[in-house]
């Protein structure tokens, strides 16, 4: 009987020991898992933070090209050369074209651009800006059309569409953003005429296709 009591006591003690060990293991494992989870969260946070910083730095370092408006002097010089070229090309169309509408358009170019050129010259004089006496890069177009024969009308019309699209864009920019009030007013005043030219020449081009 005494031996049974001793064995029972030992069994109970061993059981308590195992239970205590189990609690220790559970606590250890729980702490280990908690630490691992905490490390994982910290690692993910670091990655996310680095990614955000990388994107922010990339955006900050990206240089966005600025959209600038040509100076009053540059605009007036370019407009002067373009205007003189339109008069020369208009005279060519009025004499060489075999198309009545193209001939009429050429005469319109001579009249409207001669008027605009006179106003531009007066404005440049007021601003003490010296205008070029040549037509610059437009000379190659004049030379090509001077030599053209049967394809003159088509080439002239295509050149007029291209030139007036560029002119409308340039004058629109000045009318919207020029810092010089006189240049801004000149561009705004001339713009409707250029838009009308573009509309007319596009209509002629559509008939020739």
**Residues across the chain:** 209
Q: Which fold has domain 72-208?
A: Ferritin (1.20.1260)
Are the C-beta atoms of residues 204 and 102 closer than 8 Å to each other?
yes
83 CB-contact burial (10 Å; exposed 0-12 / middle 13-18 / buried 19+): buried
Q: Where are the domains of the chain?
A: 1-64, 72-208
The tens-digit pLDDT sequence of the chain (209 residues) is 444 444 444 444 444 444 444 444 444 444 454 455 445 445 444 544 454 444 344 434 444 334 567 899 999 999 999 999 999 999 999 999 999 999 999 999 999 999 999 999 999 999 999 999 999 999 999 999 999 988 999 999 999 999 999 999 999 999 999 999 999 999 999 999 999 999 999 999 999 97
For the chain, first and last CA: distance in Å?
Answer: 122
Q: Which of 157, 146, 155 is nearest to 91 (CA)?
A: 146
* 50/45 Cα distance (integer angstroms): 8
């Amino acid at each position: 009987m005494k031996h049974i009591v001793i064995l029972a006591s030992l069994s109970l003690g061993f059981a308590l020991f195992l239970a205590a060990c189990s609690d220790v293991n559970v606590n250890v494992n729980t702490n280990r898992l908690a630490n691992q989870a905490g490390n994982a969260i910290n690692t993910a946070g670091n990655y996310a933070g680095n990614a955000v910083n990388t994107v922010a730095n990339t955006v900050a370092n990206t240089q966005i090209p600025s959209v600038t408006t040509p100076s009053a002097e540059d605009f007036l010089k370019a407009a002067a050369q373009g205007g003189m070229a339109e008069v020369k090309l208009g005279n060519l169309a009025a004499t060489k074209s075999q198309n009545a509408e193209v001939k009429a358009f050429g005469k319109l170019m001579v009249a409207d651009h001669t008027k605009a050129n006179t106003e531009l010259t007066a404005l440049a004089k007021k601003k003490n800006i010296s205008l070029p006496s040549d037509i610059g890069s437009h000379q190659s177009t004049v030379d090509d059309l001077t030599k053209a024969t049967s394809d003159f009308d088509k080439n002239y019309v295509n050149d007029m569409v291209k030139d007036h699209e560029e002119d409308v864009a340039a004058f629109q920019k000045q009318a919207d953003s020029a810092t010089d009030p006189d240049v801004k007013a000149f561009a705004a005043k001339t713009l409707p005429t250029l838009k009308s030219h573009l509309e007319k020449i596009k209509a002629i081009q559509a008939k020739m296709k």
